[in-house]
Structure 1
């Protein structure tokens, strides 16, 4: 009878693991769904973008380029220059009263086409800064997704490990009491104490992981509230939006590279138009006094024109060609990178869906196995060690299932971010008459005219994208984590 009562008590302690975990995990899962603390991902992205320091820097770059474009609309290539001179004969000692005053003002003139080319460079730089802002906005969305997924997974792991530690503590108390009255062996008590120590270690590590994840979230949002990632649960919609050509053409990195190439071509055109230093034209006056003569005043026009020289032209053209070559290289690399990432995103979406289903099946089967081994232990058909290991394996499978579920939602949201389908990151598709051909090498840097293809505007608040390794699950000492 004593052994039966001990078995019943141990089974009751083991049976409390599942309800306690379900209650604690449910609270953790619904933490972001609280009416007071609910924060959708688009709202969180807007909050993070408002605090992002790169936004102010890129905005300053854009406004500076726009100011340069306005300044280039001046009639003259620069500000006026004043000149003056004074001569007399006192310094040489003759002191005959010969005195001369000269003064003039001149302004630099635009070379043919130089003013228009200068405005094009400034406008292209402003558009490039705007596209870089869009790329930074998308990079921030990816960083926010990573931080949110890490925080959500860490909180779920805290709930699981705390429930396991609480159940292990109750089990250890029951086994210790049974050992004192001789109903169980000392080996069972040692096993229960080891299980409790292991569970407490996992709980402490989970707390550290959660605090670290919350710190990363606070750095982006200023608050530890986790954005609602579970709202994104329609993979078919994300797959439909991942049309390769549309996404590639409207990716902010590709558009920014295109704008940089346009700015580099405009800069090359400006270098060609600046084939010599700017000539200057002005007016001058002379007031002269001679000994025994009346005052003599004269007014005239002056003109200065430096002649073209390779010393002046070669550095300007070389720098412009280098900028164009670098910009076209970056555009080619950006297109390659986007194509590769789109393939990775599709693969991640498919793999996450399959992993989620497999993890759910594994968790269900291991839970049933743990129940069966507990009943076998009650009938004294197996040892306490087998029952404990089965239950611990079931909880490790629950952690794997939680991670797979979060990765599934994250993969859907990642695909929507790449497609620009998240509110705040919307992109207007670029209409094209023909399908894109294979990537070709950079165009010749000797382009004489400025080619600016008509591209749609990306929303102004708008990193480089990357495929994150999302969340590295901590390994529990009780079982492996994938």
Structure 2
């Protein structure tokens, strides 16, 4: 083969390797879907278990509040005789009773409403946790994909610098190139090797973080979701998206629970009265045994010392819940604007970085060819190759971020794709 053809073939092989690697990075990877990944993470999420237990407890409290009485029965008993006084006249009394607390007017239904409202709030908190978990899985999956792309780009860069270092070494041995240029090419190859090692470390860390969420070392496929999914989302209007957000729903449920608690505090204006039955069995001096049965009741009177702290706490809870609902609406509104703008910016970045990456790859190939034919210096060719790798990584990152922004928009509309 003609020796003059070697540089041309080397450039062609470099371009082919770069294009093939970029195609692997951009092409959708068959594997676990994002929806299935979120399902896996949700199945082992400890917060979900905690919230479900709290929900069951609130439902149990609501059921218990449907009881006829405000609490459990109270047993009382007395025994009296005259032996301790030193006499033995036979005065002996046995007395026992049972009483139950009564609901104040409307107190039982108010207690049920508080427990039901808290259970509904926990239902919405489950949705909030599911949404937050989806975002964590999305971020972890994107980090893993970007790390894998960094490895692919680092491989291409290492192959290119190794090829140039080999050519430079041959040229140095043949007296066609200064030894300083050979050392420069060798240093560029070693730097590329270091970048490859760091990229592989990033992949391992990213996959480990994802495994902590999913329970298995798998990476969800984010490339299958794009602009078409966003266009067909159910809630496109910003107001619909905000009203459908679980964070606003849980804030509103907390307001309802606080209002129910305020109503309960008003209904509990005094301690619960008690009513019961007493039985007395006694023996008196010179008389036969005597048995009596009667009713007893206890009615504690209202007191500002008791009621004021209860009402103050209820007012504070309602004020806090109302404030948090307002803040939640503002936060969600701002986040929706950011999510939308992020998608717009990511779309533009995806297009521009892709064009820039193609241009820089062609420039790097041209500079390498020019170096081989002696038209440019080695440092210029190496710099062009490094710039091409950096631009290619930026393009691949922008592509992943565009898919992430699309999925994030879907999550904002209440859809886990």
Smaller-chain TM-score bracket? over 0.9
RMSD of equivalent CA atoms: 1.9
The answer (yes or no) to whether the contact 1:14–1:171 under 8 Å persists in 2 is no
Q: Name the counterpart of 2:202.
A: 209
Q: Name the counterpart of 2:15.
A: 18
Deviation readout 1:70-126 (Å, 9 max, x if unpaired): 000000000000000000001010111110000000000000000000000000000
Q: Name the counterpart of 1:468.
A: none
Q: Name the counterpart of 2:416.
A: 422
- Report SS of the residue matched to 1:422: coil
Task: Go from structure 1 to structure 2 and tell me whether the alpha carbon gap of 1:18 and 1:241 turns closer, same or farther (over 3 Å shift).
Answer: farther
Task: Go from structure 1 to structure 2 and tell me whether the alpha carbon gap of 1:7 and 1:139 turns closer, same or farther (over 3 Å shift).
Answer: farther
Cα distance in 2, alignment partners of residues 410 and 13 from structure 1:
37
Q: Note the 1:240-389 alignment, pairs <5 A.
A: 241-389=235-383
**Aligned residues, how many?**
416
Deviation, structure 1 residue 14:
4.9
Cα distance in 2, alignment partners of residues 93 and 223 from structure 1:
82
Q: 1:392 aligns with which of 371, 386, 397?
A: 386
The answer (yes or no) to whether the contact 2:77–2:97 under 8 Å persists in 1 is yes
The answer (yes or no) to whether the contact 1:32–1:39 under 8 Å persists in 2 is no
Which ranges in structure 2 are unaligned for 5 or more consecutive residues? none
The answer (yes or no) to whether the contact 1:241–1:416 under 8 Å persists in 2 is no
- 1:55 equivalent to 2:48? Answer yes
Cα distance in 2, alignment partners of residues 31 and 159 from structure 1:
15
Deviation, structure 1 residue 182:
1.6
Structure 1 ranges of 4+ moved more than 4 A? 4-15, 24-31
The answer (yes or no) to whether the contact 1:32–1:226 under 8 Å persists in 2 is no
Q: Name the counterpart of 1:43.
A: 36
Q: Name the counterpart of 2:127.
A: 134
Cα distance in 1, alignment partners of residues 369 and 25 from structure 2:
30
- Report SS of the residue matched to 1:103: strand
Of the structure 1 ranges 196-205 and 132-141, higher mean CA displacement relative to structure 2 is found in: 196-205
TM-score by length of 1: 0.83
Task: Go from structure 1 to structure 2 and tell me whether the alpha carbon gap of 1:410 and 1:238 turns closer, same or farther (over 3 Å shift).
Answer: farther
Cα distance in 2, alignment partners of residues 364 and 63 from structure 1:
58
Deviation, structure 1 residue 356:
0.7
Of the structure 1 ranges 374-383 and 126-135, higher mean CA displacement relative to structure 2 is found in: 374-383
Cα distance in 2, alignment partners of residues 223 and 102 from structure 1:
68
